[in-house]
Amino acid sequence: MSSSSSKTALLWLRRDLRLADNPALAHALARCERVVPVYIHAPDEEAPWQPGGAARWWQHHSLTALAGELAALGSALVVMRGESLPALRRLIAATGASECHWNRLYEPATVARDTAVKQALRADGVHCESHNAAMLFEPWTFKTGAGEPYRVFSPYWRRCVPALAEIPAPDPPPAALPPLPPGLDSLPVEALGLLPRIPWDQGLAATWRPGGAGAAARLDTFLEGAMRGYTDGRERPAEAGTSGLSPHLHWGELGPRQVLAAVRAAGGDVAADGAGHFVRELGWREFSLQMLFHFPQTPSEPLDPKFAHFPWRADDGALLGAWQRGRTGIPIVDAGMRQLWQTGWMHNRVRMVVASLLTKNLRLPWQEGARWFWDTLVDADLASNTQGWQWAAGSGADAAPYFRIFNPVRQGERFDPDGAYVRRWCPELAALPNKLIHQPWAAKPAALDALGVRLGRDYPAPVVDLKTSRAEALAAFEQIKQRH
Residues 139 and 288 grouped into a single domain: yes
Residues 147 and 124 grouped into a single domain: no
Q: What percent of the chain has pLDDT over 70?
A: 97
Is pLDDT of 5 > 60? no
Residues 29 and 86 grouped into a single domain: yes
Candidate list 366, 372, 374, 391, residue with the active-site label = 366
Mean pLDDT over 328-340 rounds to: 98
Is pLDDT of 331 > 80? yes
- Clarify whether 57 is annotated catalytic: no
Q: Inter-axis angle of helices 348-356 and 366-376, to 10 degrees? A: 140
| Predicted pLDDT of residue 443 | 93
Is pLDDT of 3 > 80? no
| Predicted pLDDT of residue 269 | 72
Q: Is residue 163 part of a domain?
A: yes
Q: Which residue type, as a one-letter code, is found at position 301?
A: E
Nearest Cα neighbor of 356 from 409, 420, 421 is: 409
Residues 255 and 389 grouped into a single domain: no
Candidate list 12, 345, 374, 389, residue with the active-site label = 389
Candidate list 348, 428, 434, 472, residue with the active-site label = 348
pLDDT band at 468 (very low <50, low <70, confident <90, very high): very high
pTM to 2 decimal places: 0.95
Residues 268 and 149 grouped into a single domain: yes
Q: Is residue 415 part of a domain?
A: yes
pLDDT band at 6 (very low <50, low <70, confident <90, very high): confident
Is pLDDT of 258 > 70? yes
Is pLDDT of 4 > 50? no
What is the Cα–Cα distance from 90 to 429, expressed in whole angstroms? Answer: 58
Q: Is residue 96 part of a domain?
A: yes
Q: Rounded to the nearest 5 degrees, what angle is found at the Cα of 60, between the Cα atoms of 297 and 221?
A: 90
pLDDT digits (tens, 9 = 90+) for 114-149: 999 999 999 999 999 999 999 999 999 999 999 999
What sign has the CA pseudo-torsion 403, 407, 408, 412?
negative
Q: Is residue 184 part of a domain?
A: no
What is the Cα–Cα distance from 129 to 3, expressed in whole angstroms? Answer: 19
Residues 473 and 368 grouped into a single domain: yes
pLDDT digits (tens, 9 = 90+) for 278-324: 999 999 999 999 999 999 999 999 999 999 999 999 988 999 999 99
Residues 320 and 467 grouped into a single domain: yes
Is the preceding peptide bond at 48 cis, omega within 30 degrees of 0? yes
| Predicted pLDDT of residue 484 | 64
Residues 33 and 155 grouped into a single domain: no
| Predicted pLDDT of residue 272 | 65
Q: Is residue 324 part of a domain?
A: yes
pLDDT digits (tens, 9 = 90+) for 149-200: 999 999 999 999 999 999 999 999 999 999 999 999 999 999 999 999 988 9
Is pLDDT of 450 > 90? yes
- Clarify whether 425 is annotated catalytic: no
Q: Rounded to the nearest 5 degrees, what angle is found at the Cα of 357, between the Cα atoms of 355 and 358?
A: 65
Chain-centre distance for alpha carbon 190: 24
What residues contact residue 3 under an 8 Å CB cut-off, 6+ apart? Answer: none
| Residue 81, beta-bridge partner list | 41
Nearest Cα neighbor of 362 from 390, 401, 328, 388 is: 328
What is the Cα–Cα distance from 332 to 410, expressed in whole angstroms? Answer: 10
Mean pLDDT over 436-457 rounds to: 94
| Residue 10, beta-bridge partner list | 36, 100
**CATH assignment of the domain containing 80:** 3.40.50.620
| Predicted pLDDT of residue 483 | 72
Provide the residue range defining the domain that includes 271.
135-169+211-294
- Clarify whether 253 is annotated catalytic: no
Q: Kind of pairing, strands 78-81 and 99-103?
A: unpaired
Q: What percent of the chain has pLDDT over 90?
A: 91
pLDDT digits (tens, 9 = 90+) for 403-433: 889 999 999 999 999 999 999 999 999 999 9
| Predicted pLDDT of residue 275 | 82
Q: What average pLDDT does the chain have?
A: 94
**CATH assignment of the domain containing 250:** 1.25.40.80
> Which of 274, 294, 314 is at the close of a domain?
294
> Which of 133, 158, 182 is at the close of a domain?
133
Residues 454 and 477 grouped into a single domain: yes
Q: Is residue 411 part of a domain?
A: yes
Residues 122 and 251 grouped into a single domain: no
Q: Is residue 37 part of a domain?
A: yes
> Which of 249, 269, 294 is at the close of a domain?
294
What is the Cα–Cα distance from 118 to 133, expressed in whole angstroms? Answer: 18
- Clarify whether 140 is annotated catalytic: no
Q: Which residue type, as a one-letter code, is found at position 199?
A: P
pLDDT digits (tens, 9 = 90+) for 44-89: 999 999 999 999 999 999 999 999 999 999 999 999 999 999 999 9
pLDDT band at 481 (very low <50, low <70, confident <90, very high): confident
SS (H, E, C) 121-138: HHHCCCEEEEECCCCCCC
Q: Is residue 407 part of a domain?
A: yes
Q: How many structural domains are present in the chain?
A: 3
| Predicted pLDDT of residue 51 | 96
- Clarify whether 157 is annotated catalytic: no
| Predicted pLDDT of residue 22 | 98
| Predicted pLDDT of residue 1 | 34
| Predicted pLDDT of residue 274 | 72
What is the Cα–Cα distance from 139 to 387, expressed in whole angstroms? Answer: 15
Contact 421, 331 (CB under 8 A): no
- Clarify whether 148 is annotated catalytic: no
Residues 25 and 119 grouped into a single domain: yes
Mean pLDDT over 215-243 rounds to: 93
| Predicted pLDDT of residue 231 | 87
| Predicted pLDDT of residue 167 | 94
Is pLDDT of 335 > 90? yes
Residues 85 and 147 grouped into a single domain: no
Backbone angles phi and psi of 266, in degrees to 5: -85, 5
Q: Rounded to the nearest 5 degrees, what angle is found at the Cα of 362, between the Cα atoms of 359 and 365?
A: 40
| Predicted pLDDT of residue 401 | 63
SS (H, E, C) the chain: CCCHHHCEEEEEECCCCCCCCCHHHHHHHHHCCEEEEEEEECHHHHCCCCCCHHHHHHHHHHHHHHHHHHHHCCCCCEEEECCHHHHHHHHHHHHCCCEEEEECCCCHHHHHHHHHHHHHHHHCCCEEEEECCCCCCCCCCCCCCCCCCCCCHHHHHHHHHHHHHHCCCCCCCCCCCCCCCCCCCCCCHHHHCCCCCCCCCHHHHHHCCCCHHHHHHHHHHHHHCCCCCHHHHCCCCCCCCCCCCHHHHHCCCCCHHHHHHHHHHCCCCCCCHHHHHHHHHHHHHHHHHHHHHHCCCCCCCCCCHHHHHCCCCCCCCHHHHHHHHCCCCCHHHHHHHHHHHHHCCCCHHHHHHHHHHHHHHCCCCHHHHHHHHHHHCCCCCHHHHHHHHHHHHCCCCCCCCCCCCCCHHHHHHHHCCCCHHHHHHCHHHCCCCHHHHCCHHHCCHHHHHHCCCCECCCECCCCCCHHHHHHHHHHHHHHHHHHC
Candidate list 281, 413, 428, 472, residue with the active-site label = 281
What is the Cα–Cα distance from 277 to 295, expressed in whole angstroms? Answer: 26
